[in-house]
Amino acid sequence: MRILFVGDVMGRSGRDAVTKHLPVLKKSLKIDCAIVDADNAAHGLGVTEANCKEFYEAGADCITTGNHVWDQREVIPYIGRDPKLIRAINFPKGTTGNSSFLFTTAAGERILITHALARLFMENLDCPFTGMDELLKDYKIGQNVDAIFVDFHGEATSEKNAFAHYLDGRVSAVVGTHTHMPTADCQVFDGGTGYQTDAGMTGDYNSVIGVRKDIPIHRFVKKTPSERLVPADGEATFCGTFIETNAKGLCTRIEPIIIGPRLQNHTPSV
């Protein structure tokens, strides 16, 4: 199975990059399932129903979120109606929305897509390790599902790394999001789980992690209030991760996808 994951979509320029590149990549890489992290899609803060529809039309099969999931209030009633838009697994019991989505490919293969929030330097939610243990009681790769993909949204590289090693052999891949910078550590762990600390941002890299440069620079240098953070609106770079799995649901290949200005481009060959 071939999975394409798109890193944090940042604002309008990021959404335009998804619309431009995702349909082409799905065809050229023969993708079975495409997943988009939309935590910053709505002008840098959360996601709206209109954003989701835009991504689905471009070819997204599932949308993950992050710590900004509730920033657009309209998403609160919408997320309960859209099973393909998922929030983190470690929100308190009873929180609206689904924390996983079971997608069936055109070939009839089943992939479980789930999402967790890290806690170090982030909000202190329920334990993501325990949350995954509970979920994986019901889903086994190579048995009742063909693959399991995890988007782990967090700040600390150590927590992301530990989380992925903890799940090694039990899920197909763990790919991190949130820091908006693609990491050069795509690898397959000993147990067969694919890993990347952060897929990077789909947005304008002529920025400070996707934000117009002058605003955070003012905050760092002057230490006085500035205008609110707004996304940079130049041409975006599409960043994501390509994953290939075998019949046992284990990862056999994981590579970055980078298309656009400023960063060194890379597109997997098939």
Instruction: Name 62's bridge partners.
Output: 35
List the CATH number of the domain containing 70.
Answer: 3.60.21.10
| DSSP category for residue 154 | -
d(CA 98, CA 149): 15
pLDDT in tens, 175-189: 999 999 999 999 999
* pLDDT over 90 at 267, yes or no: yes
* pLDDT over 90 at 266, yes or no: yes
In a domain? residue 58: yes
* pLDDT over 90 at 219, yes or no: yes
In a domain? residue 64: yes
In a domain? residue 176: yes
pLDDT in tens, 43-55: 999 999 999 999 9
- Total structural domains within the chain: 1
Please confirm, yes or no, whether 68 is among the known catalytic residues: yes
Residue 15, pLDDT score? 98
In a domain? residue 99: yes
* pLDDT over 90 at 227, yes or no: no
In a domain? residue 216: no
- Residues spanned by the domain of 197: 2-203+235-259
Token pair in block for residue 43: 């002008």
Of 21, 43, 68, 165, catalytic:
68
In a domain? residue 119: yes
CA dihedral 126, 128, 130, 135 (to 10 degrees): 110
d(CA 260, CA 25): 14
